[in-house]
Structure 1
Amino acid sequence: MPSLATGEIRTEAKRSYMSIIGLYLFIYYGTGSFFPLMAQYYQSIGLSGTQIGTISSITPIISIFAQPIWGMLCDKLRVRRPILMLALLASSAISLLFTQISTFAWVVVVFSLFSLFQCAVIPINDSIALNFAKQQNMQFGNLRLWGSVGYAIATLITGYAIRSWGPHAIFFFFAAATVLAIVFLRGLSDEGDNVKVNGNIFNGIGELVRMPRFVLFLMGAFFIFGPINANNTWFSLYYEHIGGTVVGIGVAFLLFAGSEAPFMKVAGYFARRWGLETTILIAAVASGIRWFWYSTAPTTTMVIAMFFIQGLSVGFYLATAAQFVRENTPSSLQVTALTLYSSMGLGLGSMFCNLVGGVIKDTYGILHTYTFFGIATMIGLVPLLLIKLRTKAKITEMQ
């Protein structure tokens, strides 16, 4: 009987593992079909840089308010799967509405509704994966890397689809990928975290913002994660500006996102060797250097040839940042903490960088937008350095 029980546990763990891989693969396939190539859709309906920046800021603005609420609901109700399924179903259906509109006002309305549900997807999915990784004593990066694989494949395939069928292909590919993610989600059990949950869901935020390390990390995410996400909005226009094509954009994103997977695979090794704080700092420095280099208008050949910079910067950052949040916040507030982190990076940081980046593009050109991204990232190094110094001081005191 004991061996049978062990076999059942292993079978359940394997099924959950495959379900999480499928979730990451298709959630990020949808994301890769949508966000990096939306500028092509905006351009096709005649929107200006400022209008594109404004629309791109909708998801961040809504995320600031909606993501913590989604997270607190998950922590309070101790469920993940039903809420994630709702968010996936709603965002899939709403995405198809873009095929029926072509004015700035209607895009704002539909994008706002879309963002309300879409902003819940990644933090909740990350929470499920982090919880599973902790239970199975494995590195989160080994799960998260499948998102980069899906994202990479999607940008290439959707880039070709846009050339053949036009920008509306974006929304059909997104909806199809999201439905496939739901199929994998149905095979995943939702066991909760088996921890005591605060009685008042709003008490969690108060507890988190009283943690200096977490607050400093959020400040860093604002200035570092913001440009990373804003690049998904502006890169296609930037790449065309330096002489690239729409298909070339897909190839670039294939290589960029594909390079994240191996770096995520080894992120755990470097985090154990150097520490989470140092690994995150290295990723941030690489990210800042990348944006400054882009502002010098290198050739498309050089941009493609240096594709691995994305893996070093974004791959390391994404794999280690979520782990930092998990290890520096109470387990009972894990989803709330992840959604606050996402709200600062995907939310406030992206909103700030998209709005300012759009104005800079219209006034000075797209190259100066990337100069701004580089400056913002350098500012984000300051709170990360403070975290590193505080950690070093504590180690010295213990010795």
Structure 2
Amino acid sequence: MENEVQTSKKKDFWGFPVTHFTYFFMWQIINGYLTLWMEQVGHLNGTTAGFVFSMMAFMSLVFQPIFGVISDKLVFKKNLLVTIAIAAILIGPYFQWLFLPLVHINGALVAIITGIFLSFVFNGGVSVVEQYVQRASLANGFEYAHSRMGGSLAGACASFLGGKLFLWSPNSIFWACTVMGAILTFTIVFSDKIHMENAAAAGDTTDSLDWGLIGKIFRIRNFWILSIFYIGTSALYDVFDQQFIIFFKTYFNSGAAGTTAYSYMTTAQIALEFLLMFPMPWLINKIGSRNGLIAYGVILAVRIIGSALSPSVGWVIFLRLLAGFEMPLVLTSIMKYIAGAFDIRVYATVYALASNFAKQISVFIFSTVAGNLYDSIGFQHTYFIIGAIVAVTTIFAALLLTKEDPVAAGEVDAPGSKK
């Protein structure tokens, strides 16, 4: 009987890596090639492209807190998750038939519409996907990072195929997102199963969510420290990455050569990320999720400042590959840290507010600022400023961030428990 239960759990696990794969395939396509598409197809300059990303970040400030509270109320119900997946199917039609006509009418209008649409699917939707799978991992008894390997594999595939698709037909990258959105919808509806007998471990209760409990989050000192950490690290990583492909192409004699090299480099980086996802839970359980977050900040600061000082493309590629260490560190650490440092009943709300809402405030402010700096003082000087901010923020978090409860975080077994 016990073997049958274990077999059932193993079978029910595989839908979640597919969910991660399809969602983050789209994520990587948009984050990796949207800037290039806007430059070459949409003919937008750095400032205007930065404004599009700022609007995406601004709209996510609306979606993320709402999605966090809704997710904590829904817990394992899939209503919001399915809505986001269906919206993803519309990415191809939007960029094929609506974006360019809207740009010719009014650039600000297209920035607002694109911000609402992409923020709903990605900037706001990512916390819905991530917290759902994390809660599923608690109920079904698997490591979240092992499911997230599907997202890392998707990133590698999207980086490799995205460059080839873009060179073949720029709009095809968005139709690839539409295909993945359809597969994601099917997977969520028919494959992702939860072992409800263990649902209490993920914060599932018969009582409705206590709004007073949500209000108390804002009076917790550690919540604000975690938010500041994300504002000064993960958010600036996104700003750094938004137009990185433009910086990278300056090392090549032709745009096509730069785009091809970028796709290979990013594929290698995410392949490394994929490989490190498997042992990362073991490492974080050894060093603690708080220390994992600090290590992430240190590597990120080194990589950004190093890019500013890189004398050749070889150094840029080497530093870019360090991102393969960053993502497994931060993704595994934040999931365990929130579970170990906050009430599990408001897991999705804390994740949405501290890891995404606060982060997007910074992205909203700095995307346009960085776009202006890229145009005025160049990439190297801008990267040095961004890297310095990341370094200071990491030191701040190292001094003030509270240690998590290792049992609640899943880093160690509870006393008397059996593996």
Given the two structures, how large is their TM-score scaled by the length of structure 1? 0.89
Cα separation, 1, equivalents of 2:35 and 2:210: 38
2:71 to 69, 74, 80: 74
Q: Which residue number corresponds to residue 326 of structure 1?
A: 339
2:348 is equivalent to residue 352 of structure 1? no
Of the structure 1 ranges 255-264 and 29-38, higher mean CA displacement relative to structure 2 is found in 255-264
Show the 5 A alignment for 1:42-81: 42-44=38-40, 45-81=42-78
Q: Is the 8 A contact 1:277 1:384 kept in 2?
A: no
Q: Is the 8 A contact 1:242 1:300 kept in 2?
A: yes
Of the structure 1 ranges 7-16 and 145-154, higher mean CA displacement relative to structure 2 is found in 7-16
Q: Which residue number corresponds to residue 340 of structure 1?
A: 353
Q: Which residue number corresponds to residue 396 of structure 1?
A: none
Q: Which residue number corresponds to residue 416 of structure 2?
A: none
TM-aligned CA deviation for residue 374 of structure 1: 0.3
Return the structure number with greater helix share.
1
Change (3 A) 1:142 1:189: closer
Cα separation, 1, equivalents of 2:403 and 2:3: 42
2:31 is equivalent to residue 28 of structure 1? no
Q: Which residue number corresponds to residue 390 of structure 2?
A: 377
TM-aligned CA deviation for residue 66 of structure 1: 0.9
Q: Matched residues, percent identical?
A: 16
Cα separation, 1, equivalents of 2:350 and 2:183: 28
Q: Is the 8 A contact 1:229 1:346 kept in 2?
A: no
Show the 5 A alignment for 1:146-165: 146-165=150-169
Cα separation, 2, equivalents of 1:12 and 1:214: 37
Show the 5 A alignment for 1:382-397: 382-388=395-401, 390-391=402-403
2:159 is equivalent to residue 129 of structure 1? no
2:265 is equivalent to residue 268 of structure 1? no
2:37 is equivalent to residue 41 of structure 1? yes
Count residues with an aligned counterpart.
386
Partner-residue secondary structure (3-state), 2:309: coil
1:17 to 3, 13, 19: 13
TM-aligned CA deviation for residue 137 of structure 1: 4.2
Q: Which residue number corresponds to residue 413 of structure 2?
A: none
1:290-327 per-position Cα deviation (integer Å, ceiling 9, x unaligned): 00111124422333344431122232112212221122
Q: Is the 8 A contact 2:59 2:116 kept in 1?
A: no
Q: Which residue number corresponds to residue 140 of structure 1?
A: 144
Partner-residue secondary structure (3-state), 1:295: helix
Of the structure 1 ranges 72-81 and 36-45, higher mean CA displacement relative to structure 2 is found in 72-81
Q: Which residue number corresponds to residue 98 of structure 1?
A: 95
TM-aligned CA deviation for residue 20 of structure 1: 0.3
Q: Is the 8 A contact 1:325 1:338 kept in 2?
A: yes
Change (3 A) 1:121 1:299: same
Q: Is the 8 A contact 2:91 2:177 kept in 1?
A: no
TM-aligned CA deviation for residue 336 of structure 1: 1.1
2:165 is equivalent to residue 169 of structure 1? no
RMSD: 2.3
Q: Is the 8 A contact 1:214 1:325 kept in 2?
A: no
1:90-120 per-position Cα deviation (integer Å, ceiling 9, x unaligned): 1321452111232123531431231224334
Change (3 A) 1:236 1:197: farther
Q: Which residue number corresponds to residue 238 of structure 2?
A: 229
Change (3 A) 1:16 1:383: farther
TM-aligned CA deviation for residue 152 of structure 1: 1.3
Q: Is the 8 A contact 2:91 2:175 kept in 1?
A: no
Partner-residue secondary structure (3-state), 1:245: helix
List gaps (5 residues or longer) in structure 2: 405-419
List gaps (5 residues or longer) in structure 1: 393-399
1:89 to 81, 86, 108: 86
Q: Is the 8 A contact 1:252 1:304 kept in 2?
A: yes
Given the two structures, how large is their TM-score scaled by the length of structure 2? 0.85
* Residue type of the alignment partner of 1:235: F
Q: Which residue number corresponds to residue 397 of structure 1?
A: none
Cα separation, 1, equivalents of 2:396 and 2:48: 32
Cα separation, 2, equivalents of 1:154 and 1:200: 38
Q: Which residue number corresponds to residue 183 of structure 1?
A: 186
Partner-residue secondary structure (3-state), 1:35: helix
Q: Is the 8 A contact 1:81 1:189 kept in 2?
A: no
